């Protein structure tokens, strides 16, 4: 059992059932189409997008995450397509998605750039990319996230990894999280909204 299967195997939705607020706000600005949510976990963002009439594709390495995501989708009477796969092994299609959202997806340096590049390649021309993740400053906070510097982001890393996008918003900010057990309190985050 992986660390994520272990984390998601509880009855409780450990990051809550409400979609991330930044994701909700940005999604409202885009007409519904096809969206990809990599490392989607227990499905809170996928289900929200489906309720907003998006055709939703989600990927995560955790089968426990998939079970919970499909359960909440059924409760909300929406459909999501959820594949269990490690991101590094996933065969990303070319120019398929109208939007891609990475919400608290923290990848090790060894694969980070490669996966970010594959995701950009999967986005249609004119498609939107939405990202919110913990910055390196988050180590000073107790509201969640990886405790390893290598898994956290600087603004420059995001700028370099996503240089093929036109940036609408690129910033670091402090936000207050209330997302289940593991995201609670003030947090230092990096945010990106870009267009291909």
CA distance 56 to 73: 11
pLDDT over 90 (residue 1): no
Residues 44 and 72: beta-carbon distance below 8 Å: yes
Question: 17-54: per-residue pLDDT in tens?
Answer: 999 999 999 999 999 999 999 999 999 999 999 999 99
Reduced 3-state DSSP string for 120-159: HHHEEEEEEEEEEEEEHHHHHCCCCCCCCHHHCECHHHHH
CA distance 24 to 19: 7
Output the six-digit token pair for 130: 């939405």
**28: CB partners within 8 A, 6+ apart:** 52
104: left (phi over 0), alpha (psi -120 to 50) or beta: left
Question: 138-182: per-residue pLDDT in tens?
Answer: 999 999 999 999 999 999 999 999 999 999 999 999 999 999 989
Output the six-digit token pair for 182: 């593991």
Output the six-digit token pair for 174: 């402090």
* Partners of residue 172 on adjacent β-strands: 190
Residue located via tokens 């090790």: 108
pTM across the whole model: 0.97
């Amino acid at each position: 059992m992986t660390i994520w299967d272990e984390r998601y195997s509880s009855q409780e939705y450990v990051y809550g059932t409400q979609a991330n607020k930044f994701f909700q706000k940005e999604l409202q600005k885009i007409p519904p189409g096809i969206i990809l949510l990599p490392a989607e976990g227990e499905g809170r963002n996928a289900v929200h997008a489906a309720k907003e009439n998006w055709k939703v594709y989600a990927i995560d390495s955790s089968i426990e995450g998939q079970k919970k995501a499909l359960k909440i989708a059924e409760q909300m009477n929406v459909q999501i397509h959820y594949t269990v796969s490690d991101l590094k092994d996933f065969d990303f299609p070319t120019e398929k998605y109208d939007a891609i959202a990475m919400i608290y997806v923290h990848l090790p340096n060894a694969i980070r750039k490669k996966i970010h590049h594959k995701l950009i390649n999967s986005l249609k021309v004119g498609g939107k990319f939405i990202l919110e993740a913990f910055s390196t400053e988050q180590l000073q906070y107790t509201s969640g996230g990886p405790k390893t510097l290598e898994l956290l982001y600087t603004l420059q890393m995001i700028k370099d990894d996503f240089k093929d996008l036109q940036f609408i918003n690129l910033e670091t900010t402090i936000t207050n999280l209330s997302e289940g057990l593991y995201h609670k309190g003030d947090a230092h985050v990096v945010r990106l909204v870009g267009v291909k």
